[in-house]
Homo-oligomer: A and B are copies of this chain.
Amino acid sequence: MINDFPSDLVVRRPAAGDHARVLAVLDRWWGGLGGEAGSTERALLLPRLFFQHFNTTSYLAERPDGSLGAFLIGFLSQSDPEVAYIHFVGVDPALHGQGIATALYQGFFDQVRSHGRRHVHCVTSPGNTASQAFHRRLGFDILSGEQGTGDTPFQPDYDGPGIGRVVFALDLARRPSRRSR
């Protein structure tokens, strides 16, 4: 499903039955970012529908013992035939630094490119500096916004009152495909 996947994780499509397992690890993986409100926000951002209706462009990576190592939830834009969207990605902090998130993103890029998608969009919260650095390293551009407390511009109220987002876009045409590298 994804070639050359790092570590001994086994990658497969998520199913509706995986929803509760993924939610259960989010707080630990996010280090409790945002406290109880952050926990509720993460659960509400990841309703079961993503595991039911968009699993054909999503990935779950498990250790040989079946425990969850990483996941990526993404979809093909229904409205814009040139765009694909990465909605939620998580990697067990114990597995950070092994290139797992990069491999999941690359797998998604390869798949959506085969569906004719040229642009990949995603957002992250203004406080998630690790995620921001990751997307910059992958070559994502930041769509303009106000300057935040850090050095990353974000768009205030992007997802609702008080829910600002750093907005990323990647042009796959400017990125070599796996095959041509």
Bound complex: CA A83 to CA B49 (Å): 12
**In the complex, chain B residues whose CB is within 8 Å of the CB of A79:** 52-56
Task: Tell me if A160 and B44 are in contact (CB < 8 A).
Answer: yes
Task: Tell me if B53 and A75 are in contact (CB < 8 A).
Answer: yes
Known pairs A40-B40, A53-B85; A158 contacts B48 (CB<8 A): yes
Question: Does A43 belong to the interface (CB within 8 Å)?
Answer: yes
**In the complex, chain B residues whose CB is within 8 Å of the CB of A23:** 160-161
In this complex, how many residues of chain A approach chain B with their Cβ under 8 Å: the count is 34
Majority SS at the chain A contact face: mixed
Known pairs A47-B45, A75-B53; A157 contacts B20 (CB<8 A): yes
How many copies of the polypeptide does the oligomer hold?
A: 2
Bound complex: CA A20 to CA B47 (Å): 21
**In the complex, chain B residues whose CB is within 8 Å of the CB of A49:** 85, 87
Task: Tell me if B161 and A43 are in contact (CB < 8 A).
Answer: yes
In the complex, what's the smallest C-beta–C-beta distance from A68 to chain B, in angstroms? 16
**In the complex, chain B residues whose CB is within 8 Å of the CB of A57:** 78
Q: Encode contact with B along A145-173: 1 for CB under 8 Å, 0 otherwise.
A: 00000000000011111010000000000
Bound complex: CA A56 to CA B80 (Å): 9
Question: Does A120 belong to the interface (CB within 8 Å)?
Answer: no
16 contacts between A and B (CB under 8 A): A23-B161, A40-B41, A40-B44, A41-B44, A44-B44, A44-B45, A48-B159, A49-B85, A49-B87, A52-B121, A53-B75, A53-B80, A53-B83, A54-B78, A76-B78, A78-B78
Taking beta carbons and an 8 Å cutoff, which residues of A are in contact with B? 20, 23, 37, 40-41, 43-49, 52-57, 75-80, 83, 85, 87, 121, 157-161, 163
